[in-house]
Amino acid sequence: MKLVVWLHAALLLFAVGCAQLGLQGPQTQPQRIAAGYLTVQTFAETADQALLTGQITKTDAKNLVAGSRVAIEGLDVASMAFAKDCPTAAPACTSAAADAKLNATLAALGALQAYLVGQQAAHAPAAAASGSK
């Protein structure tokens, strides 16, 4: 259960841009897209650690790989939409299409995170038992 709490705390920490540590959160669309890619990276690395420590199965990991690739594709589409609608990348320019795709992708990432947490919770007792041998 502690792990679940820490996982949520860590991803929330990233989502709010570490404001309390003096780090600035993403504001423009390119910044939000970059934050999305970094979130996928954090997510994949965390899932890899969970796999290597036996907290999720290889099947879980394969599902997470597929979901992560879909998230990357979503961020790619958002990035292309922004490039199309804001070719000069003026700071005030926003793309409604990029925004919609970005929001949908971030929601999907949230669902993926919930899946990872669920799988870790399901396998935690087995991992704890094997770790105490």
Partner 1 sequence: MGTGTVLAIQLVTAALQHASELNQLVLTAQAQGRDITPEELAAVRAKAVSAIDKLEADAA
Rule CB under 8 A: which residues touch partner 1?
2-3, 6-7, 9-11, 13-14, 17-18, 21, 23-24, 26, 28, 30-31, 33-35, 37-42, 44-55, 58, 61-62, 64-65, 68-69, 72, 75-76, 79, 83, 89, 91, 124, 127-128, 131
* Short-list 61, 59, 54, CA closest to 123: 54
Question: Residue 5 CB, nearest distance to partner 1 (Å)?
Answer: 8
Question: Residue 105 CB, nearest distance to partner 1 (Å)?
Answer: 12
91/118 with CB nearer partner 1:
91
Question: Residue 101 CB, nearest distance to partner 1 (Å)?
Answer: 14
Cα separations (Å) of 97 from 31, 75, 89, 103? 16, 12, 15, 10
19/107 with CB nearer partner 1:
19
Question: Residue 100 CB, nearest distance to partner 1 (Å)?
Answer: 18
* Short-list 24, 71, 22, CA closest to 43: 71
Under DSSP, is residue 92 helix (H, G, I), strand (E, B) or coil? coil
Q: Say what the alpha-carbon torsion angle 61, 13, 114, 60 is, to the nearest 10 degrees.
A: 10
Give the C-alpha separation, 69 to 63, whole Å. Answer: 10
